[in-house]
């Protein structure tokens, strides 16, 4: 396990640079992974930890892994998968997997060799909270946005209403989601009102997962 804990955005930038052989700019990120903006929550923690440097004398800025960044990247790959992974993260990880596959082809290593002697990892069963997050992402796509709870409940199908509400409250308390009222109450249908959840002394009609 890595001695340094990474958020999903930090891991995105770290592994992007690994795939780009240690250095790149937003043009390279766009070509390889489809994103062309490096947000501060991706960049600043890695710079502060001494894992990435940023050359601001050129446009676009150029990002480069330090020696410490290279060393931190490998154990980070052994960390348990985090929830709320975006399509951006999936594309980055897939690119790194292709790099591994290329290395295996060059060295003659087979997948069977990689897994030989390794214990089978037990997969944790999917929770209702996991299904809530998955349903949200199916409705919203890659870019986080406010989604009506009515649409979320329909996506979840026959899940027990009280259990869904319990999961929503738990996810909200853990700050994995945000729940707010609809400001324009005139837009609400009877179905929207029925789908709302009572929380903090008010009915909340919309859900959003922050970008990670």
Residue 2's contacts (CB-CB under 8 Å, 6 or more residues apart) are 72, 75, 76, 78, 79
How much is the pLDDT for 50? Answer: 95
Q: Name the least confident of 29-38, 114-123, 171-180.
A: 114-123
Decide whether 8-115 matches 128-208 in CATH topology.
yes
How much is the pLDDT for 1? Answer: 41
The percent of residues above 70 in pLDDT, for the chain, comes to 87
Q: What is the phi-psi region of residue 38: left when phi exceeds 0, alpha when psi lies from -120 to 50, beta otherwise?
A: beta
φ, ψ of residue 14 in degrees (nearest 5): -60, -50
Rounded to an integer, the average pLDDT of 129-157 is: 87
Among 4, 90, 115, 86, CA closest to 51: 4
Among 71, 106, 82, CA closest to 9: 82
Tokens of 138: 């199916």
Q: Which CATH class is domain 128-208?
A: mainly alpha
> Does position 80 have pLDDT exceeding 80, yes or no?
no
Kindly give the pairing relationship between strand 62-65 and strand 23-24.
antiparallel
* Mean confidence (pLDDT) of the chain: 85
How much is the pLDDT for 212? Answer: 44
Task: Give the confidence band of 120 by pLDDT, cuts at 50, 70, 90.
Answer: low
Do residues 51 and 66 lie in contact, with contact meaning Cβ atoms separated by under 8 Å?
A: yes
Tally Cβ neighbours within 10 Å of residue 179: 21
The CATH architecture one would assign to domain 8-115 is: Orthogonal Bundle (1.10)
Among 97, 104, 159, CA closest to 134: 159
| pLDDT digits 0-9 by tens, 17-54 | 988 889 999 989 988 888 888 999 999 999 999 999 99
Note the helical H segments in the chain. Answer: 8-19, 26-33, 40-48, 67-76, 87-107, 111-115, 128-140, 149-156, 161-173, 190-195
Distance CA 148, CA 5 (A): 33
Query: What are the residue ranges spanned by the domains of the chain?
Result: 8-115, 128-208
Do residues 121 and 71 lie in contact, with contact meaning Cβ atoms separated by under 8 Å?
A: no
> Does position 76 have pLDDT exceeding 80, yes or no?
no
Distance CA 147, CA 207 (A): 5
| pLDDT digits 0-9 by tens, 100-112 | 878 888 898 875 6
């Amino acid at each position: 396990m890595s001695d340094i804990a990474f958020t999903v955005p930090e891991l995105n930038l770290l592994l992007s640079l690994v795939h780009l052989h240690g250095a790149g700019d937003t043009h390279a990120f766009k070509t390889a992974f489809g994103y062309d903006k490096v947000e501060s929550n991706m960049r600043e923690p890695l710079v502060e930890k001494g894992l990435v440097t940023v050359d601001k004398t050129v446009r676009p800025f150029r990002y480069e892994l330090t020696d410490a960044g290279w060393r931190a990247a490998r154990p980070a790959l052994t960390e348990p998968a985090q929830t709320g992974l975006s399509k951006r993260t999936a594309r980055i990880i897939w690119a790194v997997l292709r790099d591994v596959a290329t290395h295996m082809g060059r060295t003659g290593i087979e997948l069977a060799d990689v897994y030989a002697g390794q214990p089978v990892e037990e997969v944790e069963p999917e929770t209702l909270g996991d299904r809530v997050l998955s349903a949200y992402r199916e409705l919203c796509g890659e870019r986080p946005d406010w989604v009506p709870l009515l649409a979320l409940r329909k996506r979840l199908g026959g899940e027990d209403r009280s259990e869904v509400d319990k999961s929503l409250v738990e996810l909200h308390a853990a700050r994995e989601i945000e729940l707010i009222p609809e400001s324009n109450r005139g837009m609400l249908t009877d179905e929207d009102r029925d789908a709302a959840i009572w929380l903090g002394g008010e009915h909340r009609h919309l859900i959003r997962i922050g970008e990670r």
